[in-house]
Structure 1
Amino acid sequence: MPRRIDTAERTDTIATAALRVLERDGLAGLSVRGVAAEAEIAAASLRRAFPTQHALREYCFEVIEERATVRIRGLDLSGRALAEGILAQLLPLDAERRTELVAQVQLGILALTDEALRPAAIRLGDGVERACRAALTVLDAARLFGTHRDLDYETQRLRALLDGIAMHGLWNGEPESSALMLTTLARHLDELSRPEGSERS
C-alpha cells in the first residue's frame, strides 16, 4: 500500500524540485509537467498544491527565504563569528545555497516584467537586507562596529557587497571562489570596526 504524503511534505517536495528545475533548465523548464517529473509526482498532485504557475513561482521565493532563515536561526555562534555566519547563509558556498541563488536570479529577472510576481521578489530582497542589518547589529553589540558609522548606510553598503560577491561566486563556480567570497566579506567586516579614516591610511 503506498505511503500517504501529507500536504506539507508534498509542498516541500514540489518546491525543492522547482528550485532544481530553475537551476538546471531556467524559467523555460518551470512548467507543471517539468516540475512534476522532477518531483516524481503526478501533475494533478502538483496542480492541487499550486493551481497556477504564478503560485508556484511565488512559493519558490518564499522557500528560498525560509531556508535561509532556518539556517540562520540554527547558528550556535556569537560575536564576529555569528555575523559572518549570518551572511554566509546568503552566499553560494554549497550546492543548496547555489541552487537557491540561481533560482532567485531566474525568478528575479522575471519579476522585472511581471508585476504580479514583483512583490514576492521585493519581500525576498527585504529579507536579505534584514539579514545584513542583523549581522551589523551583532557586530555593534560586540563593539566591532565603528561608533562613527551609520547603520542604515552600512546596511545598504553591505547588501550591495553581498549581492556582488554572491554573483561573482555564482559565475566562477570553482572551489577557490568560496574562499574568495569569505575573505572579501571578512575584510569588509574588519574595515567596519576600524576608527574613522583608518581605512584610508
Structure 2
Amino acid sequence: MVNKIDEAQRRRELAEAVWRIILRDGLPAVSVRHVADEARLATGSVRHFFPSQSELLNFAMTALAESVAARVREAAQIPDVRERVFAMLLELLPVRDRTHDEFAAYLEFLERSRIDASLSAVAQESIRAVRELIVTILTDLRELGMLRGGVDIETESVRLHAFIDGLTLQLVVAPTLNSRDDARRALERWLHDLEEPRDGMRG
C-alpha cells in the first residue's frame, strides 16, 4: 500500500512539473529531461513512470481534468441548491490563481490535441464531461421546479457551455478584458435568468 501511495504521489509531482514548464516556457519545452530537471529527479526515474513523452503528456492532461472534476464533486456536496449549482459551475472558470494556472496549461494541451492523437481522446472526453455536467444540472433544476418554463435543456446546455468556455478563454488570454469578479457576476446573472420566476415576478 505504501508503494502504491508513493507512486501516485510521484506521478502527481511529475504532472505538476509538466504544468509549471508549460506555464513558464510553453508546451513545446516539455521533454522527459526537462521534467526530470524541474522535478529534481534523474531522467531514469521519470522514464520509470512514463516511458515516453506521449504517456507523460497524456497523464499530465488527464490529471488537470481530474483536478477540476474533483473540485466539482466537492462543490456538489453544498446543501443549498442555488449555492451548489453556482459553486459547481464556478469551478469551470479560472477565477483563482490556482485554477487560472490550470486552465492556462489546459488550453495549451487542447491546442496540442489537434495534432496529437494521444491527447485528442483526453480533450474530447473532458469537453464531453463538462457538457454532461451542465445537462445534469439543468435537468435537476427542472425536476426541482427551479428552471423557468420554455427552456430547452439541450439548447441551453450548448449556450451555457459556450458561455463558460468563452469566459475561460477571455480570463486566460485577455485578463484585462474582464475581471474575475466580472466573470462571477456574469455566471450568477446567467443562472438567475434561468430560474423560474417567484410569485410571477422577475428580478
TM-score by length of 1: 0.87
Partner of 1:52: 52
Unaligned runs of 5+ in 1: 196-201
Which has the larger displacement, 149-158 or 124-133?
A: 124-133
Aligned to 2:125: 123
Corresponding position of 2:179: 177
Consecutive unaligned residues of structure 2, counting only runs of 5 or more, are 198-203
| Partner SS for 1:148 | coil
Aligned twin of 2:200: none
Deviates more, 1:22-31 or 1:140-149: 140-149
Query: Over residues 97-143 of structure 1, what are the superposed CA-to-partner deviations in whole Å (9 max), with x where a residue is unaligned?
Result: 11211111101111112233211110111122123223323433443
| Equivalence for 1:106 | 108
Paired residues of 1:84 and 1:135 also in contact (CA < 8 A): no
Distance (Å, rounded) in 1 between the aligned partners of 2:40 and 2:142 = 47
Residues 135-144 or 12-21, more deviating: 135-144
2:63 and 2:136 mapped to 1: Cα distance? 20
In structure 2, the partner of 1:97 is: 99
Contact kept in structure 2, 1:50 and 1:56, CA below 8 Å: yes
Does the 8 Å CA contact 2:148/2:194 hold for their aligned counterparts?
yes
Partners of 2:179 and 2:137 in 1: CA distance? 22
Compute the TM-score of the two structures, normalised by the length of structure 2: 0.86
User: How do residues 177-196 of structure 1 correspond to structure 2 at under 5 angstroms?
Assistant: 177-193=179-195
> CA 1:23 to 1:139, structure 2 compared with 1: closer, same or farther past 3 Å?
farther
SS across alignment from 1:130: helix
Q: Which residue of 2 aligns with 1:147?
A: 149
Please point out which of 123, 133, 138 is paired with 2:135. 133
Note closer, same or farther for the CA distance 1:163–1:12 as it changes in structure 2 (3 Å cut): same
Q: Using the alignment, how far apart are the partners of 1:59 and 1:10 within structure 2?
A: 12
Mapped contact 1:80–1:138 kept (Cα < 8 A): no
Deviation, structure 1 residue 70:
1.3
Cα gap change, 1:191/1:115 in structure 2, threshold over 3 Å: closer, same or farther? same
Partners of 1:35 and 1:94 in 2: how far apart?
Answer: 25
Structure 1 residue 34 corresponds to structure 2 residue 34: yes
One-letter amino acid of the structure 1 residue matched with residue 22 of structure 2: L
Deviation at 1:32, TM superposition (A): 0.9
Query: Structure 2: how far apart are the matches of 1:185 and 1:52?
Result: 40
User: Aligned ranges for residues 153-164 of structure 1 at < 5 Å?
Assistant: 153-164=155-166
Separation in structure 2 between the aligned mates of residue 130 and residue 103 of structure 1, nearest angstrom:
23
Whole-Å separation in 1 of the counterparts to 2:105 and 2:142? 33
The CA RMSD over aligned residues, in Å, is 2.2
Residue number in structure 1 paired with 2:11: 11
Q: Secondary structure at the match of 2:117?
A: coil
Contact 2:146 2:195 in 1 (8 A): yes
Amino acid at match of 1:27: L
Aligned residues: 193
Letter in 2 for 1:53: Q
- Tell me which amino acid in the other structure corresponds to 2:17: A
Q: Which SS does the other structure have where 1:6 is aligned?
A: helix
